[in-house]
Amino acid sequence: MENFKLSWANLFGHAATVNLLKKNIAEGTFPHAVIFSGIEGIGKRLAAEICAAALLCENPTDGEPCGACENCHQVAAKSHPDFFIVEPEDTKTTRNIKIGQIREMQSQASLSPINSSRRVVIIDGAEFMNVAAANSMLKTLEEPTSQTIFILLTANRSGLLMTIRSRCRTINFAKLSPAEIRDELIRRDIDEATAQSLSIIANGSFGRALALKDSDSAQVRELALSTLEKIFREEFTSEDIFKLGEDIDKWSREKFSDFLTHLQKILRDAWTIEISAPINSDLSERLRGLKISERKIFSLIETGTLFHKRLKTNANLRLLAEAYLFRLHEMTR
């Protein structure tokens, strides 16, 4: 990891956005405050770190960091004295960027740069700033110093104060296409069938695709669809429900939540497949085989939403899963 170089070659997709950022860096027109907006796991953080490396690099070329100078090495190692990152702190109930973190950053940003002509500050998860932190950050943006560049990363731009948004230039990172995600997964030695499934489930986020690879989400989606198919063919018995409930009892609550989410998306796809492209486009043929009335689909989706809420309580996972499956079984008869 110590030899890792921050380079635009490491960020796939977003070609137009990358060209814009490189141009701004090369021409010295990079904004003093910018928001990178887009869903989680889409590459915003990597893009911000590459920007920081290029802005602090001793020998940049056309907006590309050289990767060889001491500044580039220090940014990659997150040890550069003129490079500062603020991230949310996780607790049992929430994620938060507190005013103390912003004040610590401000004290650093107020100092003259040490190794470079400027400082670069990344606020990752900027929407998680609490009220005091956001207001303190706003004062910094209202009175910017010419030597500090702020890059705010957010998956929820509307969660930022409107006054903060108005003082920053926003650059949107669009969702990646399934083909882009699939090809990159294959390049990373993931088999084609798994890569294809993950590219659909990931909904435009490569980071989510990688996380799903490790959480068996593709297999959970297959179980959700095959279970629904069996229920509608009236091949799913009480014994099958108890057996699946026993298996689910060994899952985490997050995995069962994933199972419910896949079922909800499959039901929505079955309803809209004749009028719009399905979320699970690789399952189109099987989705068309689910002959479900619109009334039943609405009822099933409503039931799924109800059990999703119950999952957030302390209800026993196995009993909750079995109750949900019995409800599906009854509603489709």
Number of H-type helices and E-type strands within the chain: 15, 7
- Residue spans in the chain of domains classed CATH 1.20.272.10: 216-331
* Cα separation, 79 vs 71, whole angstroms: 9
Q: What does R_g of the chain's alpha carbons equal in angstroms?
A: 24
DSSP state of 42: S
- Is residue 95 over pLDDT 90? no
Specify the pLDDT at position 212. Answer: 77
Confidence of residue 91 (pLDDT cuts 50, 70, 90): confident
The mean pLDDT value for 169-196 works out to: 91
What span, in angstroms and rounded, lies between the C-alpha atoms of 139 and 259? 45
Q: Which pLDDT band, with edges at 50, 70 and 90, does 1 fall under? A: very low
Compute the 3-state secondary structure of the chain and give helix, strand, coil in percent, each to the nearest 5: 55, 10, 35
pLDDT value at position 24?
96
d(CA 46, CA 38): 13
| Least reliable range by pLDDT among 52-61, 93-102, 150-159 | 93-102
Q: Does domain 216-331 fall into CATH 1.10.3210.10?
A: no
d(CA 239, CA 173): 48
Which CATH code fits 8-172? 3.40.50.300
Alpha carbon distance 141, 158 (integer Å):
18
What is the pTM assigned to this prediction?
Answer: 0.74
Query: Strand pairing partners for 34?
Result: 151, 169
Q: What is the pLDDT of residues 188-221, one digit of tens each?
A: 998 888 888 888 888 889 988 888 777 777 788 8
pLDDT value, residue 93: 67
